[in-house]
Amino acid sequence: MPDIPNRDELERILSSKLSKLQKRQLASLLEFLGDPPDFNNVPASFWDDAGKELAQVVIPFSEGVYLDAAERLMGTISIGVDWNLVNTAASSWAQRYGYDLVNGINNTSRQAIQQAVTSFFNDQLTQGQLTERLGRIYSPVRAEMIARTEVTRAAAQGEVALVRELEKQGVQMVAVWHTRNDELVCPLCGPLNGKKQGTDWTEPPPRHPRCRCWISYEYK
């Protein structure tokens, strides 16, 4: 199957939602930190709320991409599966992985913010310089990276789920790795293009942040 047909649009939508959320969270963070900044002023509720808000964006979006990918793959084969099972798998995966992703993002942000506040004093930064550093933590670039990576992941997992349901019916398929085959393909993924699962790779994309590879399936 070809790459996600509306990949660019999906990445743009998710990136926009994340950027708007990050902008609000940065404004709230700066108020809590104060001037001069004190990391201890940031209450636990800030991190709890940040995680919940992020989950509300990421989880339903990922579930939708997952189901769309599974449906596209199902349209290319002649054997049906119980769609209720696929729906259940989508919800379960999105919830389980989504919260892991949110916790990871939150923890990374928290550590980076704490380091930035420490640098404020150690490097004698101005309040403006600190705000600039914190802005990079909550930047559109980071939102774009998350969006691109997670669209790739959700689509691949949706296809994996459908193939697993087919395997229960005795249908054996093998995955084939595909890159965009252009100048942006990284040295990690480039050598995998056209290779079947089990030949130099086992886990589906993404292989790294911003990975835009995808997989297709063929009958064994």
The pLDDT tens digits of the residues spanning 193-216 come to: 999 999 999 999 999 999 999 999
Tell which wins on pLDDT, 81 or 185: 81
**DSSP secondary structure, 144-163, as one string:** HHHHHHHHHHHHHHHHHHHH
Whether the per-residue pLDDT at 181 is higher than 70: the answer is no
d(CA 122, CA 116): 10
Handedness of CA 193, 195, 199, 202 (dihedral sign): positive
> What is the model's pLDDT at position 48?
96
Q: Backbone phi, then psi, for 156, in 5-degree steps?
A: -65, -40
> What is the model's pLDDT at position 3?
85
d(CA 164, CA 172): 9
CB 99 within 8 A of CB 55: yes
> What is the model's pLDDT at position 102?
96
Give the tens place of pLDDT for each residue, 53-98: 999 999 999 999 999 999 999 998 878 889 999 999 999 999 999 9
pTM for this predicted structure: 0.94
Give the tens place of pLDDT for each residue, 91-149: 999 999 999 999 999 999 999 999 999 999 999 999 999 999 999 999 999 999 999 99
Whether the per-residue pLDDT at 1 is higher than 70: the answer is no
d(CA 176, CA 200): 11
Handedness of CA 128, 134, 136, 139 (dihedral sign): negative
